[in-house]
Amino acid sequence: MRRLDQLLANLGYCSRREARGWIQAGRVTVRGVTEKDFGAKANPAEVQVDGAPLDHPDGLLLLLHKPVGLVCSHDEREGPNVYSLLPPRWRERNPVVTSIGRLDKDTSGLLLLTDQSELVHQLTSPKQKVPKVYRATLATDLPTGLAAVFASGTLLLKDELKPCAPADLKVITAREAELTLTEGRYHQVRRMFASQGCEVLTLHRAQFGPLSLADLPAGQWRALPPGTFADR
């Protein structure tokens, strides 16, 4: 049960003060009955605003096709961000909608967004070993034996104290490859290739766990069921 004015404010509909005005104006119903007491508590699933059910009252989980050129930071000083692609209401939610892990500005592909902090911690924990598949295009041909280096579990990146976990490299063409990681270090894919003298020209995340983009266009998102990762 949630207090009505706080519920509307937390879901990004309006400020708490504005929510009280909406409720007193008769715009909110609970189980089909107008409720004008903004301090009343209700099950979010039974609340409607202007005749419509509440927007994802149990939390958001979004799959976004991130385009190149956007950052995953909320700090607008870092440039245009992925959150600008979302409906304004979702950008006002509390807890705030944030990315599950990050993709750098020059990387495109599958990015998960949620307002559920427990899910963020769950899916970014190294213990979970969630597989993530990246497609890289290189400036030069792939070196012989690179797959064995990445799979060894002994590759130590610059300024790191712990070697990278074993990673699976699949060669697509002489200058294209798919790399599957089960951890998420800072700029890890680019740094792994750089450690072997390879420059990454383009990088795209194709999969996150069991999820893929399918035919989702760049810059678009789709909502996922709340229990998508319930079995992890």
Active site residue ranges? 104
Q: How far apart are CA 36 and CA 173, in angstroms?
A: 65
Beta bridge partners of 179: 134, 169
- What distance, in Å, lies between the first and last C-alpha atoms of the chain? 27
Q: How far apart are CA 62 and CA 14, in angstroms?
A: 22
- DSSP codes of every residue in 186-205: TTHHHHHHHTTT--EEEEEE
Q: Which helix (H) or strand (E) holds 137?
A: strand 132-138
- DSSP codes of every residue in 59-90: --EEEEEEPTT-BS-S-GGG-SBGGGGS-GGG
**Rounded (5°) CA angle 54-60-65:** 125
Is residue 224 within 8 A of residue 146, CB to CB? The reply is: no
- Quick check: helix, strand or coil at residue 150? helix
Determine how β-strand 107-114 pairs with β-strand 200-208: parallel
* Both structure tokens of 114: 């949620």
Cis, bond preceding 95 (omega within 30 deg of 0)? yes
